[in-house]
Structures are given as structure tokens and as C-alpha cells.
Amino acid sequence: MACVLALAAASVRVPAAEYRVRPLSLGLEQGEPTSRAAVLIDAETGTVLYEHNARAQLPPASMTKLMLMLLVAERVRDGQLFWHEPVATSAWASKMGGSQVYLAPGETFTLGEMMTAVIVHSANDAAVAVAERVAGTAQAFVKLMNERAAALGMKDTVYRTVHGLPPGSGQQPDLTSAYDVAVLAREVVKYPDLLKWSDTVETTFRNGEMKLLNTNYLLQQIDWVDGLKTGFYSGAGFNVTATGQKNGMRLISVVMGAGQKDDCFREAGRLLKEGFANYQRVVAVSRGDVVAVDVRVKGGRPRFVRVIAGSSLTLVARKDEKRDVRFQLAITGELQPPLKAEEPIGQVIVRNGDTELGRVPALVAESVVKAGLLDRFY
């Protein structure tokens, strides 16, 4: 049986801000979003700070390449791929239309060079060449994309291409949602190499012969924005996944289906600005914090122990609202010796009023041995 102790006098209180998420005041023209869907999240916790049709299935266009970016970076992390290894261009890859770096069949560049073209210039030919290097064929890579999306819980997403180009006759488009793209972006921003390329405004390709310009105009408009990916074709509208970091907090905004390019970037930038203006990261409890004192150990020496938090809990909170955080201790059965220092004994439930904010492991602060006969009289 679980024993839940409401810690009143023994509670540790954390000053400052309400954790309930409320929509931001966007300040957009006429108070309405200019896109078909949008979302703003905190990258570390995944907390949704604003949403507008965030689960609507829409074509992401070249934001599809975010999944290619993630799959490649994960394989480099695991030692399956290397940025310096050569990637050859197949005849099929060389035929990709839209944005491209005009790869010729048999032409070879390093994986890092190909990914620069993919991320900065949204090159479709480079995207296919990389996909073929990883999985053998583009369609085999699409299978990997859908498997990874399912593992991330991206329930609104179906990938059909590696690049996001508009579907041809008899084909279906890639589909996803603003929320799913934000979930994916949370993983992408964990890789410094990807952020380095997504933060590059201008670079060159083919030994300086070709200039690559980043399609994410927010990089030039807001100095703390460092990514992430744009997408456009007529049926999809203008799309952008934008991210930036300030004061130790990273936010991600996704805007999909905007009718005008300027509106797309304006809305994504304003979401980020409003998010940083109104929210902050708050550590509700840190590992090692004492969350309870004088918790009884039946037949133990000492008879009462302190309980500490086994991990930290970080939340995103509005700057202008009050909060009253309290801890509850949930223990399975009575505590009995022997107990080792920092042994888990249950969970610390972190609450703001009646709202549960999260849970962390509860640990005993000190060792407890079985009491001797004399201990029982004193």
C-alpha cells in the first residue's frame, strides 16, 4: 500500500510563478494568427506555451528534412557515419528538382558538405544522396523516417519523401503537424553540428564556386535565433521551424501554412519574442534538496530520517504569476532498516495547489541500521 504524506511544516516552499500554461498574447495584426497552424514550446521540458491548430495534419514541404537531419546526426553520434566520409551522387539524386546544388551523377562530396547543402540551402539532390548513403535507397530511408517518427510519438506524421517536394500525379504529400515538428525539433537541437549549420547565414559549396544562402530570414533579423528549417511549395504555403536561446532557455516555434513569406517569419519571430518575454525556467526542486524531516523508520537507528530529492525538476513558468509549491512524500509501506544513504524509498510529488507538476525519486539522506535492544528504551 502506498503511503502519501502531505508535508506541511516539513515542506520546502519554492518562491515565484504559476506553472499552469496559458496562451501568450501574440500581438499579431487583428489579434489573429496568420498561418494555418502554429505552436511554441520549451525545448528542454516540451511544455507547450502557445498553440493554434497544432495537431492539424499539413504538408511540411522542406521541413521534412528535419527528420533526415536527425537520423544522420544520430548515426554520426553512434559511430555509424562520419562527417568526413565521401557520399556519392546517384543518377536518381542528380535529377531532383527544386532547390539544389546541381550534383552530377558520380560526383562525390563529404557527408559534412552534403549536409551543409541540405541544411543551409535545402538542397534536394544532396538530401537524396545522403539518404541513399544511409539506407541504400531513398524509399528505404523513408521507412527509417517513419519508424523514428513513431518512436518519438509523432502521431500526426506520415513521411513519403526524404526532401518534402510537392507530390506528383498519383502521389500523396508528406504530412505532419506543427506539434509533431516541434517534437522532432527538440531532438534536432541536441546536436551542435546541426545547429552550427542551421545558424549559417551564408557559405559556399563546390570549393567556393557556388554561394549558399540560408532561407531562414530570422537569422538576419534576430541575433539569438540559431535555426532551424524552412519549407515552401504552393500547396503547403510558407513554413518555418525557428529556435533560439536566451538566459539559459531554448524555445522552438513552428509556423505552418502561412500565405505570405513575411507573415510566416513575423509570426514565428513574435512567438519566440513573446515566449522569452513572458516565461522563465524555474527549478522547482534540485537533487539533494531536503523535502522532509523526521520521517519515522520502524525499528531503526536513528528512528527518524531526512528525505532528499533524488533528481531535479525544472519547469517553465510565467514571470508575472505567483506560485505556492509544496511537496508530498509517497512511500510504499513503512520504512524499515536497514537503509543505505541515498536509497530510494518512494517519490516526491511536486504540487502547485491541487495541480501536480511532476515527480522525482525520494531518497533517505542517511544510513539506518536495525536498532538494538537498548535503543528501544531511549
Q: Which residues of 34-73 are buried (b: 16+ CB within 10 A; e: fewer)?
A: bbbbbbbbbbbeebbbbbbbbebebbbbbbbbbbbbbbbb
pTM over 0.75: yes
Q: The C-alpha cell of 22 is what?
A: 496559458
Q: What is the mean pLDDT of residues 314-342?
A: 89
Residue 133 sits in a domain whose CATH number is 3.40.710.10
Using CA atoms, how far apart are residues 92 and 347, in angstroms rounded to an integer? 55
What DSSP line would sit under 80-121, residue for residue?
Answer: S--TTSEEEPPHHHHT--SS---PPTT-EEEHHHHHHHHHHH
Percent of the chain residues topping a pLDDT of 70: 90
Residue 277 lies inside a defined structural domain of this protein: no
- Is the confidence at residue 13, as pLDDT, over 80? no
Same domain, yes or no, for 74 and 208? yes
What confidence score (pLDDT) does residue 333 get? 83
What confidence score (pLDDT) does residue 372 get? 74
Q: What is the mean pLDDT of residues 299-320?
A: 93
- Of all helices (H) and strands (E), which one includes residue 284? strand 279-285
Task: Tally the C-alpha atoms within 13 A of residue 154's C-alpha that lie toward its C-beta.
Answer: 27
Same domain, yes or no, for 209 and 60? yes
Confidence band of 27 (pLDDT split at 50, 70, 90) = very low
What confidence score (pLDDT) does residue 375 get? 57
What confidence score (pLDDT) does residue 47 get? 93
- Is the confidence at residue 175, as pLDDT, over 60? yes
Domain total for the chain? 2
What confidence score (pLDDT) does residue 325 get? 86
Residue 81 lies inside a defined structural domain of this protein: yes
- Is the confidence at residue 26, as pLDDT, over 80? no
Same domain, yes or no, for 332 and 288? yes
- Is the confidence at residue 31, as pLDDT, over 90? no
- Is the confidence at residue 176, as pLDDT, over 50? yes
Same domain, yes or no, for 13 and 139? no
- Of all helices (H) and strands (E), which one includes residue 76? helix 65-77
Predicted confidence (pLDDT) per residue in 219-271, tens digit: 999 999 999 999 999 999 999 999 999 989 999 999 999 999 999 999 999 99
Residue 29 lies inside a defined structural domain of this protein: no
What confidence score (pLDDT) does residue 4 get? 53
Same domain, yes or no, for 199 and 304? no
Confidence band of 22 (pLDDT split at 50, 70, 90) = very low
Residue 321 sits in a domain whose CATH number is 2.60.410.10
- The pLDDT mean for the chain works out to 90
Domain boundary pick from 217, 244, 259: 259
Residue 267 lies inside a defined structural domain of this protein: no
Residue 27 lies inside a defined structural domain of this protein: no
Same domain, yes or no, for 97 and 48? yes
Same domain, yes or no, for 79 and 201? yes
Using CA atoms, how far apart are residues 55 and 194, in angstroms rounded to an integer? 26
Q: Under a CB-based contact definition with an 8 Å cutoff, are residues 316 and 323 in contact? A: no
The one-letter code for the residue type at 231 is G
What confidence score (pLDDT) does residue 376 get? 54
Sign of CA dihedral 108, 110, 114, 117: negative
- Of all helices (H) and strands (E), which one includes residue 273? helix 261-278
Same domain, yes or no, for 71 and 143? yes
Q: Under a CB-based contact definition with an 8 Å cutoff, are residues 71 and 146 in contact? A: no
Residue 87 lies inside a defined structural domain of this protein: yes
Same domain, yes or no, for 72 and 13? no
Same domain, yes or no, for 174 and 224? yes
* Lowest-confidence segment of 128-132, 204-208, 350-354 by average pLDDT: 350-354
Predicted confidence (pLDDT) per residue in 364-376, tens digit: 999 999 987 655 5
- For residue 304, the enclosing domain spans 2-18+283-377
What DSSP line would sit under 217-242, residue for residue?
Answer: THHHH-TTEEEEEEEEETTTEEEEEE
Same domain, yes or no, for 335 and 201? no
Contacting residues for 325 by C-beta, under 8 A, at least 6 apart: 13, 14, 284, 350, 351, 352, 357
Q: Under a CB-based contact definition with an 8 Å cutoff, are residues 301 and 372 in contact? A: yes
Residue 178 lies inside a defined structural domain of this protein: yes
- pLDDT greater at residue 347 or residue 371: 347
Q: Which of 329, 334, 338 shows the shortest CA–CA distance to 366?
A: 338
- Angle, in degrees to the nearest 10, between helices 111-121 and 65-77: 150
- Is the confidence at residue 114, as pLDDT, over 90? yes
Same domain, yes or no, for 10 and 52? no
Confidence band of 32 (pLDDT split at 50, 70, 90) = low
Predicted confidence (pLDDT) per residue in 141-169, tens digit: 999 999 999 999 999 999 999 999 999 99
Residue 237 lies inside a defined structural domain of this protein: yes
* Lowest-confidence segment of 131-140, 192-201, 298-307 by average pLDDT: 298-307
